Each structure stands twice: as structure tokens, then as C-alpha cells.
């Protein structure tokens, strides 16, 4: 999977967390889906930026993760 560190301007409204996230554990990531990329960041440290991966790589990752 190719990933780039990004500080790209992603609208705040584009970011979301899993509906399974309770907020009590603090181990959440946020995701923003854009036309060509998926951005992932640490929900506890949003100022740090995140990673951008292409849509195909994200699809492959999610497919592996749900096994």
C-alpha cells in the first residue's frame, strides 16, 4: 500500500469515525473519503495531519481488515 503523509485541506465536515467508536477508549481514527484518495488521521491529534492512500489501496486494506 502506498501512503503519503498529507496536510491537504480536507473539509472538516468530510471526516468521520466508526459508529462503533464509543469515545471512551481513545484509540480511534478518523477517515475522509475524497474522489481519488482516502485520508486517515488520529482522532486524538488531528493537528498532526494524516495519511492519504488511493481508493484501491483503501479498499484492499478494508477487505483484509474485516476478515
In DSSP notation, 50-64 reads: EEEEEHHHHHHHHHH
With cut-offs at 50, 70 and 90, classify the pLDDT of residue 10: confident
Q: What is the pLDDT of residue 38?
A: 93
Q: What is the pLDDT of residue 31?
A: 92
In angstroms, the CA 45 to CA 40 distance is 12
In angstroms, the CA 50 to CA 31 distance is 9
Q: What is the pLDDT of residue 5?
A: 61
pLDDT single digits (tens) 24-63? 766 788 999 988 899 999 888 888 888 999 999 999 999 9
Question: For the range 54-57, what are the long-range contacts, defined as Cβ-Cβ under 8 Å and sequence gap of 24 or more?
Answer: 54/2, 57/1, 57/2, 57/3
In angstroms, the CA 5 to CA 66 distance is 24
Amino acid at each position: 500500500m502506498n501512503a503519503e503523509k498529507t496536510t491537504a485541506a480536507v473539509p472538516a465536515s468530510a471526516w468521520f469515525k466508526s459508529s462503533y467508536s464509543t469515545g471512551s477508549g481513545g484509540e480511534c481514527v478518523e477517515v475522509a473519503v475524497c474522489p481519488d484518495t482516502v485520508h486517515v488521521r488520529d482522532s486524538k491529534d488531528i493537528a498532526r495531519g494524516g495519511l492519504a492512500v488511493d481508493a484501491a489501496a483503501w479498499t484492499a486494506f478494508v477487505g483484509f481488515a474485516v476478515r
